[in-house]
Structure 1
Amino acid sequence: MNENDTFLINVQVGGYRLPLRIERKEEELYRLAEKVLGKYLEVYQKKYSHRSEEEVFIFVAYELAVMLVRKMMQQDTVPLAEKLTSLNQEVEKLLAEK
């Protein structure tokens, strides 16, 4: 990756400024992630107002990790489902020929 392909952005997360060097083509992704994380923090801070800031961050991180794992598991099953459908069609075709 060429240094000209990257640049420095600053994102705000939970009152913290994070300077990040990113690829130019990914700026929109990082800006959207900043907004999503901000919304989650806002919701969880209201929901768990009796908890420390650190605990709220942990709740949000855990929730997002669960969402990521769920998405990864769904993606892993799609090729399997497609293959099973294809195999089922082949079996039905062979049975119809007999």
Structure 2
Amino acid sequence: MENNNEKMVIQLLIGKQAFPITIKRDQEEIYRRASQLINEKLGRYEQSYPHLGYEKYTSVALLDFAVQVLQLQAQQDQSPYENTVTRLTQELEELLAEK
């Protein structure tokens, strides 16, 4: 069971709203960096498309982050298979070269 001292409440400003979030102490930096990335992305969309509403900036930023996550997952999912195929191909080439 976790000790209550391991958790803490931090205030994160995301966009125009402050959120009190209870996190593990060792995850504070990652939450603050994530908040910063979100705010930077929202700021870029707001500057690029000043005529859109805040809800649209948020939606597009969420879409952007979701696409990045899916791309990273696809890359990670393929690497074990690529390594296995490369290794098996080398083994087959070696066996064929012996004959």
Matches within 5 A, 1:24-35: 24-35=25-36
For residue 54 of structure 2, what is the aligned residue in structure 1? 53
Residue ranges of structure 1 left out of the alignment (5+ in a row):
none
Confirm or deny that 1:62 pairs with 2:76: no
TM-score after normalising by structure 2: 0.94
Partner of 1:78 in structure 2? 79
Aligned residues between the structures: 98
RMSD: 0.9
Is 1:17 the counterpart of 2:34? The answer is: no
Could you say which residue in structure 2 is the equivalent of 1:96?
97
TM-score when scaled to structure 1?
0.95
Q: Partner of 2:75: helix, strand, or coil? A: helix
Moved over 4 A (4+): none
Gaps of 5+ in 2: none
Give me the identity figure in percent.
34
AA matched with 2:53:
S
Deviation of 1:4 (Å): 2.0
Which one-letter code corresponds to 2:70 in the other structure?
A: V
